Structure 1
Amino acid sequence: MEKLLLKAPDYPLRGSIQLPGSKSISNRVLIMRALANADTTIHNLSISDDTVILNKLLNQQGSEYNAGHAGTSYRFSTAFFAVRDGEQILTGSERMLQRPIGPLVEALRSIGADITYLAKEDYPPLKIGPFKHQINQEVEIDSSMSSQYISALCMIAPILPLGLKIILKGRTVSRPYLDMTLTLMRQFGVEVAEERDIISIAPQAYQFTDFTVESDWSAASYYYSLVSISKGSQIELSTLYKDSLQGDSDIAMLAMPFGVSSNFNDGVVTLKPTDSFNDRIDIDCLKVPDIAQTLAVMAAMKGIHLTLRNLNTLIIKETDRIKALQNELGKCKVEFECVEAYDYVVKGVVKRADRKLQFKTYDDHRMAMAFAPMALTNDIIIEDPKVVSKSYPGFWQDLESLGFILEWMK
């Protein structure tokens, strides 16, 4: 297994970073362009593994498709292929075969899709037959597991003969990602009606045009973590906007009590540490689960008593992120304790160790990047560091540009 020894510079972090395009926006725009059969250009498209895989799936010829470890790509492709001609086998990595797809499959079946489980019920791989005719316009789906199921249904709705009336059951998780989907659809000419927990989309055509993807706010979160612990630092992040489609843009607000300020100016946000921070912070992660790991590590480095609420979706991500956080924070003598249902508390502070701290990444890109700022407290070793390619292939090189020393190890 490859490892990375990461050492922080002995001076404040200063520099400018051009973040990659948003993976979440890129994946949605690729699906919509394919549904529209449009020949247009997408600028600043994400270079993440997930987006590269999805782009390949949408342009691949044949009947067997492998989404690898790309969860979003798998869910969106399931809906895409379910309304196409022909028969496809859709599979993925070992971890992908452990991630549930049942709620989306049942919803698609209810409107006429021909989908069969090839192994375990409710899980990939899938055999997807040709779409013959729509048997229902109305579909119900549990919205408490993944907003991606809902986004997948919304995106195919305009090309269905009857459109779709989607009824959401339960408390919707990651709502900003669903809002992102609907906003993009409206930008491409689709009329969407929303009333309480009902989304109605009539049959209509996408009006697809050239599009520029904004940079990734999830990737930006790791620099907020760095600045929170690096006195005198100043980092500029490009192609980010205060008025963003991405829910993770909330990191600019959430980082304030951790001691980080954000100054927005013409597509560039400048991060600086402030003189004070709160010693107790309480954050509801229902809408921003992808930055929970970043927030937990920030709290651990600063000794903040942090409560993170509604972390229920973390157990079905690339890994069980709850257990991963408990294991790796535990190496720093920091607790990640369940206090009620899916609410967890970070207790303790990372101290200077007499040895290098070594962190597992669990095939999870966000574990690698969330723990990287720990190098500001101790020299650290990151296992399987190239896992970051799932969302941010240039992450380590960008840290190097800020003065971090990288030593690659076998």
Structure 2
Amino acid sequence: MKTIQISCPLDSLKGTVALAGSKSISNRVLMIRAFSGRDFPIAGLGNAADTVTLQRLLASAAQTSVEPLDAGPAGTTFRFLTAYLAAQEGTQVLTGSERMQQRPIGLLVDALRELGARIDYLEKEGYPPLRIHSPQGLGRVAVLSIPADTSSQYITALLLLAPTLPAGLQLKLEGTIVSRPYIEMTLRLMQYFGVRHRWEGNLIAVPPQTYQPQPFRVEADWSAASYYYALAVLFPDTDLALCGLYADSLQGDAVLAEMMEPFGVTTVFEPEGVRLRKNGKPLPQDFEYDFLRCPDLAQTLAVICAAVGARGRFRGLETLRIKETDRIAALQAELAKVGVALRAEDPGQGSFVLQGR
């Protein structure tokens, strides 16, 4: 096997980074703008491929394009658009990449059909592509149940649609909620745009109401910030400013600031964002964390553990196998190249142990 040696002659990490806007927030605000039917400015909109695709497809849908709407590999885009198109006049075909057509959509389609949506599968039952027709009696039921451990994108798609339904929606989440931060993000954004809700136990009630357009600024992406935190761990000296990150964040990934303290990186919150500095703590020999509320941080933390020689125990990774790619398999393959093993501790339960080097 060919080996490439990479070295960095620097011993300090200093500067200012302008991070892109949060993809999760950007996509939700774009959907709220579409559901509102009125334009309003969105500053700091993310530039992720998912967000760019969503913008393009929303524009095409508004023109009732006869061409299929292709979401590519973007799961969020596909799921949000499924709910949105179910409430729009006209017939649209929604498709995606080969990988997207392997990812189930049946649970969301079943829920929308129960509400009165008219959606057909064009190929395999329960999977994209879809043909979505003009609604007839959408909102004929106002109470819906959905497994609480399903993708938060399904739940968010239904919540974003909820206030536009004639009687609103009471959404019952059955079982243990596994993606609470993303649901909370959705509801806080809806509240910002004038939509009230009630969340008691596992029941979320959204009355019928209208989104109130107003200017919005997207905060920077905490998940993207994790890569700079990883660099900060590896440098002896750090004074790095990351713009657009705030303590009162909508993102569950904001827990990163606390998570990185044991790795020697302190987060100082400033008016324009955060500043990373070293705190002098010795690097840990062991690291254990439940990523159920922030699964997108798991890969970065696995790489950090590998780099500093820490043994890691990672829980709550159940959803990483069903992303745009199998992130667990990809992480295992890449870590193995540097002599680090990531092994399932409890097969089927999303718990893994990392060790090596």
Using the size of structure 1 for normalisation, the TM-score is 0.82
Contact 1:174 1:289 survives alignment (8 Å): no
Residue number in structure 2 paired with 1:374: none
2:309 maps to 1:303: yes
More RCO (CA 8 Å, sep 6+): 1
How far is the alpha carbon of 1:82 from its aligned partner? 0.8
Residue number in structure 2 paired with 1:367: none
Counterpart among 186, 190, 196 of residue 191 in structure 2: 186
How far is the alpha carbon of 1:98 from its aligned partner? 1.4
Looking at structure 1, the residues matched to 278 and 77 of structure 2 have their Cα atoms a distance apart, in angstroms, of: 37
User: Any residues of structure 2 matched to 1:218-237 within 5 Å, and which?
Assistant: 218-237=223-242
Residue number in structure 1 paired with 2:97: 93
Contact 1:147 1:172 survives alignment (8 Å): no
Residue number in structure 2 paired with 1:110: 114
How far is the alpha carbon of 1:235 from its aligned partner? 1.3
Amino acid corresponding to residue 48 of structure 1 in structure 2: A
Question: Over the residues paired in the alignment, what is the CA RMSD in angstroms?
Answer: 1.5
Looking at structure 2, the residues matched to 47 and 325 of structure 1 have their Cα atoms a distance apart, in angstroms, of: 24
Residue number in structure 2 paired with 1:332: 338
Contact 1:145 1:313 survives alignment (8 Å): no
SS at match of 1:90: strand
2:351 maps to 1:343: yes
User: Any residues of structure 2 matched to 1:191-230 within 5 Å, and which?
Assistant: 191-230=196-235
Moved more, 293-302 or 142-151: 142-151
Amino acid corresponding to residue 248 of structure 2 in structure 1: D
How far is the alpha carbon of 1:278 from its aligned partner? 2.2
Contact 1:168 1:198 survives alignment (8 Å): yes
The structure-2 alpha-carbon separation of the partners of 1:127 and 1:280, relative to structure 1 and needing over 3 Å to count, comes to same
Looking at structure 2, the residues matched to 149 and 13 of structure 1 have their Cα atoms a distance apart, in angstroms, of: 40
2:292 maps to 1:286: yes
SS at match of 2:237: coil
SS at match of 2:12: coil
Contact 1:140 1:167 survives alignment (8 Å): yes
Counterpart among 316, 323, 326 of residue 329 in structure 2: 323
Residue number in structure 2 paired with 1:29: 29
Looking at structure 2, the residues matched to 330 and 166 of structure 1 have their Cα atoms a distance apart, in angstroms, of: 43
Looking at structure 2, the residues matched to 24 and 101 of structure 1 have their Cα atoms a distance apart, in angstroms, of: 19
Looking at structure 2, the residues matched to 21 and 312 of structure 1 have their Cα atoms a distance apart, in angstroms, of: 26
Contact 1:283 1:307 survives alignment (8 Å): yes
SS at match of 1:13: strand
Say how many residue pairs are matched. Answer: 346
Query: Unaligned 5+ residue runs, structure 1?
Result: 350-410
SS at match of 2:212: coil
SS at match of 2:120: strand
Residue number in structure 2 paired with 1:152: 157
Residue number in structure 2 paired with 1:361: none
How far is the alpha carbon of 1:6 from its aligned partner? 6.8
Contact 1:27 1:54 survives alignment (8 Å): yes
Residue number in structure 2 paired with 1:16: 16
Looking at structure 2, the residues matched to 170 and 272 of structure 1 have their Cα atoms a distance apart, in angstroms, of: 41
Using the size of structure 2 for normalisation, the TM-score is 0.94
The structure-2 alpha-carbon separation of the partners of 1:14 and 1:169, relative to structure 1 and needing over 3 Å to count, comes to same
The structure-2 alpha-carbon separation of the partners of 1:171 and 1:267, relative to structure 1 and needing over 3 Å to count, comes to farther
Looking at structure 1, the residues matched to 39 and 152 of structure 2 have their Cα atoms a distance apart, in angstroms, of: 28
